[in-house]
Amino acid sequence: MRSPLPRADADRPGSGSYRDWPSSSGLAALREGIVASFAAAACAGAGTVDRQYLVAGHRLRLRAAQADVMGRLSRTFAHLETAPGSEPDLTVHLWDTRSRSVPAPPTPDVGDEQAPGAFFYASDPRLRAGYQLGTSGDARVLAVYPEAPTPSLSVLDDAAGEAWYWVADARRIPYWEEATPLRYLLDWWLRDRGVHQLHAGAVGRPEGGVLVVGKSGSGKSTATLSTIGTDLRYAGDDYVAITLEPRPWVHSLYGSGKLMPDHVGRLPFLVDGLANAERLEVEKAVVYVHERWPDSVANGFPLLAILAARVVPGLVHARIGEASRLEGLAALAPSTVFQMHTRGQDSLARMRRLAEAVPSFVLELGSDMPSIPRAISGLLDRLDAGAVR
């Protein structure tokens, strides 16, 4: 019997390590099988559907074999869409094989995922294993293969500028994957281009903004989503990207936001914009901010500060206090390493550089939601005026 979907608060992978699959001699067969599966899916339908996006200054093309797969996985990128122009830096092929006439691509044997070196998702053991496919000359290939709630395979061949995302049945893609799809592919691809994906929210103005960081329950999502409709612009709630050179900069990845269902009442204006209002018993509340409030979304801005969010019982109005750079790093690093879990030391080094480049503060959250964007705007005013160093 198939396991039920995880609870709304258990939609995050844990940590783990990589092992090789397949051997370098098997990479050609792997590519052949993946390409054949995608081609069969495209032939079984009406051909491919293409869309292009500008992600952190790099051109990304999504090419889907089925229109409904494109619809499910591209919705959250709409604010980054751009007209086709020069050759994309990366093409990601998207397809499913729910049609019996379409063969599935090769996948790893995860029957022994308990073996040393396997890549585990500790928060939900049904999300099985991920693997590094090894190397073939300069063509590094990476993959991740979770099995539940529906098998899927993400593969990146960075040297070829190609990637593949296969799912057995797109109708069973979990809600968090539709809201923030292709996370590992984007992380692998962008980080070698000096772009680092973080588990953080980001809000700001054209002159500059802040990262809002913190562990689950810290109020990070509430804080970022509370800025919708204010003078602040929303760049992300769960995952954003940053570059450090020539100056720290935030780049939006997803136009979605997620919130615990029992927190929606604190931001009642979100209710009419919920994408899954009928499923809140088993899912977090999902809103596509760029669809409902397009003027509230930013593709990026200079990064001026890190805010470590925390809820203070009994507090009414939000307030901002001083924090050390170490405190800012401590609020940012654990969840990013835990959720992305690739190149941990490299990730820590980049986050340490970020914490050294911009000041950190504590964002204390109370019961008055409108006071949150006011507090953040006040801090940005002080930073713009040079009153805070």
What fold characterizes domain 196-384?
A: Rossmann fold (3.40.50)
DSSP-assigned letter for residue 107: -
pLDDT of residue 182: 93
| pLDDT single digits (tens) 315-351 | 999 999 999 999 988 888 887 877 765 556 777 888 8
Mean pLDDT across the stretch 229-239?
A: 95
Q: What distance, in Å, lies between the first and last C-alpha atoms of the chain?
A: 58
CA dihedral 370, 372, 378, 381 (to 10 degrees): -100
pTM of whole model > 0.95?
no
Residue 276 has what pLDDT? 94
Tokens of 332: 């940012």
Q: Where are the domains of the chain?
A: 24-191, 196-384
Rounded to the nearest integer, the mean pLDDT of the chain is: 83
**The pLDDT of residue 116:** 30
57: buried, middle or exposed (CB in 10 Å: 19+, 13-18, 0-12)? middle
At 118 the pLDDT is 32
Express as a percent the part of the chain with pLDDT over 70: 80
> Residues 266-317: pLDDT tens digits?
999 999 999 999 999 999 999 999 999 999 999 999 999 999 999 999 999 9
- Is the pLDDT score of 117 beyond 60? no
pLDDT of residue 342: 55
Query: Which of the pair, 157 or 6, is modelled with greater confidence?
Result: 157
pLDDT at 207: 95
Q: Which has the higher per-residue pLDDT, 171 or 192?
A: 171
Residue from 191, 282, 187, 273 nearest 238 by CA? 187
Amino acid in the structure at residue 71: G
Q: Is the pLDDT of residue 9 over 50?
A: no
pLDDT band of residue 52 (cuts 50, 70, 90) is very high
Give the pLDDT confidence of 134-183 residue by residue, as tens digits: 443 334 556 666 655 778 888 888 888 999 999 999 999 999 999 999 99
Average pLDDT estimate for 360-364:
96
Sign of CA dihedral 179, 184, 189, 195: positive
